[in-house]
Amino acid sequence: MLEQTIKTNIQSIETNIQKNCELSHRNPHSVNLICVSKSVDNETTKQVADTGIVHFAENRMEKLIEKKAFLSDQKQIKWHFIGNLQRRKVKNIINDIDYFHALDNFKLAEEINKRALNPIKCFVQVNVSEETSKQGLTISEVEEFIQSLSEFKNVVVIGLMTMAPFEAKREELQSIFSTLNKLKVTIEEKDLSYAPCTELSMGMSRDYEVAIQEGATFVRVGSKFFNEEGNEVAER
Ligand SMILES: *Cc1c(COP(=O)(O)O)cnc(C)c1O
């Protein structure tokens, strides 16, 4: 992939982050840009890392481990796992990642707690729109679920994560993201040591700008890094 294309794309994403932070009176440093590198090879991922991006996300274990090995001299990189993680596979990956974005059941938390050598930063995945095709707890299940994790010293709920429906228009996106933000604040205010819940992982290529306006602190951007055809923000 052309190095210049990647650099131009990154510049455009960063400008958009800046712009949307200004619009919503936020500090741009409060938004962490994650490069979702699942669709590209090791070399292309390295090109992104060489520009100074530190957060990378994968949704397949084998690929994450392979890329981490390939980029092993880049110690600054933080690895995010954003995929569905089967309980029996936890032990194969959990000590290779810095963040896990898809915690949504007790048994999985129990296994992470058991296998992790250090506390793992987890996002509880929430299916705000209650699409049947999506993973995640419903809004009404989240508080009780988080309380059930109090004994797990290796599971730290740093925040909540969601994915908006693919076809959602701006208003629906705003509603989904602000709903998640309110829930995050409710949990944050409980001041739980095992669930500080200060972070919001929301926003992808097509909706990260709206997500930032609604309080996202981690945006998971994939195709916008790598698409060749310009960076125009999709009209909604
Ligand atoms: C693939 C993926 C992304 C990135 O999607 P893009 O539309 O390519 O930006 C973000 N989050 C999750 C959970 C994903 O699986």
pLDDT tens per residue across all 236 residues of the chain? 678 899 999 999 999 999 999 999 999 999 999 999 999 999 999 999 999 999 999 999 999 999 999 999 999 999 999 999 999 999 999 999 999 999 999 999 999 999 999 999 999 999 999 988 889 999 999 999 999 999 999 999 999 999 999 999 999 999 999 999 999 999 999 999 999 999 999 999 999 999 999 999 999 999 999 987 644 444 43
Q: Hey, which of 9, 44, 204, 224 would you mutate to test ligand 1's pocket, going by the most ligand atoms within 8 Å of its Cβ?
A: 204
Instruction: Tell me how far apart the alpha carbons of residues 135 and 54 are, in angstroms, rounded to a whole number.
Output: 27
| Whether residue 162 has its Cβ less than 6 Å from ligand 1 | no
What secondary structure does DSSP assign to 133-179, as a single string?
A: TS-SB-HHHHHHHHHTTTT-TTEEEEEEE----TT--HHHHHHHHHH
The atom of ligand 1 lying closest to the CA of 205 is 9
Structure tokens, 13: 């994403």
| Whether residue 184 has its Cβ less than 6 Å from ligand 1 | no
For ligand 1, atom 13: residue with the closest CA: 82
| Whether residue 205 has its Cβ less than 6 Å from ligand 1 | yes
35 contacts 9 by C-beta, under 8 angstroms: no
The atom of ligand 1 lying closest to the CA of 223 is 8
Longest dimension (CA), the chain: 49
The atom of ligand 1 lying closest to the CA of 161 is 13
Residue 83 phi/psi, 5° resolution?
A: -95, 175
Quote the pTM value.
0.95
**Distance between Cα 202 and ligand 1 center (Å):** 10
**Distance between Cα 123 and ligand 1 center (Å):** 15
**Domain annotation for the chain: domains and CATH numbers:** 1-225 (3.20.20.10)
**Secondary structure, 3-state, 96-117:** HCCEEEEECCHHHHHHHHHHCC
